[in-house]
Amino acid sequence: MPTYATRRSALALAQCRAFVAALGRAHPNVTFDEKQVVTTGDKIQDRPLADIGGKGLFVKEIEEALLAREADFAVHSIKDVPAQLPPGLALVCIPKREDPRDVLVAPRHGKLASLPPGAKVGTSSLHRAISLHITRPDLTIVPLRGNVDTRLRKVDAGECDAIVLARAGLVRLGLADRGTDVLEPDISLPAVGQGALGIEARADDAATRALLAVLHDAATAVCVQAERGVMRALGGDCHTPLAAHAHRDGGDIVLDAFVAEPDGSRLRRGSRRAPWPDEAGAALLGEALGAALLHAPDRAP
């Protein structure tokens, strides 16, 4: 019986169980066991991720369970997965992506353009804060951590005028109607891998790789590899305001990215268009864009 590992948050459980249910439909004679793991990132909710070690804290204990053979595969939000994986582990399946865009939740105001001057917008993301300030420099950005339900309660209670969340998370929780303004990528460029899941397993576990292969989505994987290539080239972590989004346009891939210093200075933007690649070619495309941004002048075109 294969065992899968997941965080205990409502969103992690919802997306993990949806993936495993689809896997079960593809393999009706296979049953699965669930191992819930409380990660360091889940335990510490009162400080920004950048202050406690970064987003890898949402996967560290889960990866330890994989390496200890306590689980056969893990289901992650791929935006939580660092650029470099521990030796012996690999992302072996990337399912079809959910909507990668950000969404504003502003119960009393609705649209980003309708927020009053000085409105308080809650987000724990450095790159979202920078994006918002570009469009609305008058806004007051306040740090906000916690699971989706906690953040929604805070905005409902009036602690913030609005919050910014990944639309994919709301969709997976059945809360898509809470979003009041979908933010297009030219307003809020999504996080690397946003909306996509990454299924991690031991690199030498051929049986598990074969089991998972049925749900691998090649187009999503190409886009995610391009975005992760940018992150890898820039050494991106939670101290780095970094965003990247790839999509298919006809027979091409289009990759947009930006990076800045932690204080928002030295904002550099870039874009690449190329014939649709395989995963390896997508990773190289992302690395090339990331390398170009590393030494680009401010606000690179």
Task: State what percent of residues in the chain have pLDDT above 90.
Answer: 80
User: Which range is least confidently modeled, 37-51, 135-149, 155-169, 185-199?
Assistant: 37-51
The pLDDT of 202-222, averaged and rounded, is 97
Phi, psi for 188 (deg, rounded to 5): -135, 95
The pLDDT of 28-56, averaged and rounded, is 68
User: Which range is least confidently modeled, 45-59, 78-92, 234-248?
Assistant: 45-59
- Residue 299's pLDDT band, with cuts at 50, 70 and 90, is low
pLDDT at 262: 84
Write out pLDDT tens, residues 115-170.
999 999 999 899 999 999 999 999 999 998 788 999 999 999 999 999 999 999 99
Q: Which of 72, 80, 102, 181 is catalytic?
A: 80
pLDDT at 296: 80
CA distances from 4 to 21, 32, 43, 81, 187 (A): 12, 7, 21, 16, 36
Write out pLDDT tens, residues 4-30.
999 988 999 999 999 999 999 999 999
pLDDT at 300: 46
Report which of residues 47 and 235 the model is more confident about.
235
- Residue 298's pLDDT band, with cuts at 50, 70 and 90, is low
What is the rounded CA–CA span in Å between residue 212 and residue 186?
34
Alpha-helical (H) ranges within 195-278 are 206-212, 218-234
Beta carbons within 8 Å of 32's beta carbon, 6+ residues apart? 1, 2, 3, 4, 20, 23, 24
pLDDT at 239: 74
The pLDDT of 46-75, averaged and rounded, is 76
pLDDT at 235: 85
The pLDDT of 262-267, averaged and rounded, is 86
Residue 77, beta-bridge partner list = 197
Residues present in the chain in total: 301
Q: Environment class of residue 117 by beta-carbon count within 10 Å: exposed (0-12), middle (13-18) or buried (19+)?
A: exposed
The pLDDT of 45-66, averaged and rounded, is 67
- Residue 56's pLDDT band, with cuts at 50, 70 and 90, is low
Token pair recorded at residue 143: 């740090």
What is the rounded CA–CA span in Å between residue 88 and residue 253?
30
- Residue 264's pLDDT band, with cuts at 50, 70 and 90, is confident
- Residue 257's pLDDT band, with cuts at 50, 70 and 90, is very high
249 catalytically annotated: no
What is the rounded CA–CA span in Å between residue 148 and residue 142?
16
Domains defined for the chain, CATH in brackets: 1-97+195-216 (3.40.190.10), 102-183 (3.40.190.10), 218-294 (3.30.160.40)
Beta carbons within 8 Å of 194's beta carbon, 6+ residues apart? 79, 100, 101, 102, 166, 168, 245
What is the rounded CA–CA span in Å between residue 115 and residue 53?
33
Neighbouring CB atoms inside 10 A of 297's CB total: 8
* For residue 215, pLDDT beyond 50: yes
